[in-house]
Structure 1
Amino acid sequence: MSEATEAPPEESTDAVPGEDSEPPLVVEDLRKTFGGITAVDGASFSVEEGTLTGLIGPNGAGKSTTFNLITGVHRPTSGTVRFHGEDITGLSTHRIANRGLVRTFQIARELEEMTVLENMMLAPKGQVGERFWHSVLPGLRGQVIEQEEELRERAWQQLEFFEIDHLADEYAGNLSGGQRKLLEMARALLTDPELVLLDEPLAGVNPTLEEKLLDRVHELRERGNTFLLVEHDMDVIMENCEHVIVMHQGQVLAEGTPAEITGNEEVVEAYLGGDV
């Protein structure tokens, strides 16, 4: 009797996790006109997961408008924005934030007549206390109290992380510009975002707070957060970002590593203004 021939193992058809998947944020052919002015003119780029990506360009290049289009502040004239493969083009700001994509603003937007801790407590989504009946019915009131205690603990942890817990009972209107930037970032991160758009977070911040804020960004990136940073300080961009996107006249002029960008003649001519 002949020996049975062992069949060769079947090749696995399972895809490797993450293979062929697109980056968390993909912007394609984004365009925005205001009357006869084109602020963003066919911009396309992507942001890889777990990176700190810089978005630079001269004043009027379209950076802030691009941020506004991504986060739902403005609706694009055309083009698409995808977040984790989902088309979020034109969704409202709160629906985009609920999906894990949040932003900070160049001018901090705290509620000045509320304390730092109270500002923090407003940030988390899905609070049961926002529903009227949960707040007044005895059987549901306990859920509200329990969640508020949990959120308060998380808020304190975030304030400690940014080293502003000593300001918890201070009115936000009394904070310095740098302290407000720290509060705004702490508040944004309390929503457990996956991707954070930072619009000039270091503007008006003294060197000590600037270093502290950058340290926090790097620590959070190592934990898995993804950042897209608009910043005019080229030293900050080139020393901290793995990837840099350059916008000029509403379009993406160039992309690459900091070394590639500083060596790009088009970028030097259009933006950096001479030898680097």
Structure 2
Amino acid sequence: MSETERGRGPDADDAAEAAGSPSLDLGTGPNVTAEYPLKVEGLHKSFGGITAVDGASFEVERGSLTGLIGPNGAGKSTTFNLITGMLKPDSGTVTFNGEDVTGMKPHRIANRGMVRTFQIARELGDMTVLENMMLAPQAQQGEALWRSVTPGVRDDVIRQEEELLERVWEVLDFFDIDHIAEEYAGNLSGGQRKLLEMARALLTDPDMLLLDEPFAGVNPTLEKRLLDHIHELRGQGYTFLLVEHDMDLIMENCEHVIVLHQGRVLTEGAPEEVKANEDVIEAYLGGNV
């Protein structure tokens, strides 16, 4: 499917992106054919005299669950921030679905289908779970005040909100958090917040999800639930890039692993290959696996 067909053309402004309603089909997933939707080439980023990312280059295969690992200070979070527009690289490029998105603003990258979550969930605590979810879908006609108050046009706004509400309940049910829909998000446990953040990200109609330590602070029961959802979505065609410190979790769930060390890609490959790599053992695993 082309960028124009998705409504994510590189020249579309925010007003144009708000003209229609995106769709979410948990049964089919994304419909984009590029084999490697994300390509990172030669990324560099320094802060003062400290180099955080030093020429990192890698690709993420469509439909894969790819792990990005490395010791503290390896540049994982900075790399995530460079990919998603939170930071601008000093040099290098980020290509998503064939389009150069290097340095593009985060919301424009998200509008093109690459959405991230954060290590610390960023829910709106004074709003309910349901209200948090209703904010996520793109292209809501009610965001324009004149549409909400103009006779005739307002009927379209109401109709779209009803459709969005149905989608929201479907996703809440998918993530098993429909029973806390009326709870204030600020009252949720850490694991429930992670479920909410991933559910909200899915409502943006993404092609690819970048998850920054989604299991940090999550109890084993909710961790398993999150993993089950990730694997189910991956089976539907969604692509995941996952930063996680739990080595066993990465090795047991990712089919491809990228190892960062001092801002560079030390090695990458299948989990067993990475675990057996002597450079990884020395630099990251402290001499044992």
What's the TM-score once normalised by structure 1's chain length? 0.92
Separation in structure 1 between the aligned mates of residue 203 and residue 81 of structure 2, nearest angstrom: 21
User: Deviation at 1:35?
Assistant: 1.4
For the pair 1:221 / 2:234, whether they are aligned, the reply is: yes
For the pair 1:64 / 2:64, whether they are aligned, the reply is: no
Q: CA RMSD in A?
A: 1.0
Aligned to 2:91: 78
Counterpart residue identity of residue 52, structure 1: L
How has the CA–CA distance of structure 1 residues 31 and 22 changed in structure 2, closer, same or farther, with 3 Å as cutoff? farther
Aligned to 1:150: 163
Separation in structure 2 between the aligned mates of residue 125 and residue 116 of structure 1, nearest angstrom: 17
Aligned to 1:189: 202
2:107 alignment partner, one of 79, 90, 94: 94
1:44 alignment partner, one of 47, 50, 57: 57
For the pair 1:130 / 2:143, whether they are aligned, the reply is: yes
Q: Identity over aligned residues, as a percent?
A: 74
Aligned to 1:271: 284
For the pair 1:176 / 2:176, whether they are aligned, the reply is: no
Counterpart residue identity of residue 172, structure 1: A
1:106–1:200 CA contact under 8 A, matched in 2: yes
The DSSP-based 3-state class of the residue aligned with 1:148 is helix
Separation in structure 1 between the aligned mates of residue 189 and residue 147 of structure 2, nearest angstrom: 37
The superposition leaves residues 124-149 of structure 1 with CA deviations (integer Å, 9 ceiling, x where unpaired) of 11111111211110111111111111
Separation in structure 2 between the aligned mates of residue 275 and residue 170 of structure 1, nearest angstrom: 45
User: Deviation at 1:22?
Assistant: 5.1
For the pair 1:166 / 2:213, whether they are aligned, the reply is: no
1:71–1:96 CA contact under 8 A, matched in 2: yes
Q: Runs of 4+ in structure 1 displaced over 2 angstroms?
A: none
Question: Runs of 5+ in structure 2 lacking a partner?
Answer: 1-31
The DSSP-based 3-state class of the residue aligned with 1:49 is coil
What is the number of residues matched between the two proteins? 258
1:32–1:77 CA contact under 8 A, matched in 2: yes
For the pair 1:140 / 2:153, whether they are aligned, the reply is: yes
What's the TM-score once normalised by structure 2's chain length? 0.88
Aligned to 2:211: 198
Aligned to 2:252: 239
Separation in structure 2 between the aligned mates of residue 78 and residue 22 of structure 1, nearest angstrom: 25
1:249 alignment partner, one of 262, 268, 272: 262
1:22–1:85 CA contact under 8 A, matched in 2: no
1:200–1:229 CA contact under 8 A, matched in 2: yes
Choose 1 or 2 for highest CA Rg: 1
Aligned to 1:6: none
The superposition leaves residues 137-164 of structure 1 with CA deviations (integer Å, 9 ceiling, x where unpaired) of 0111111111111111111111100100
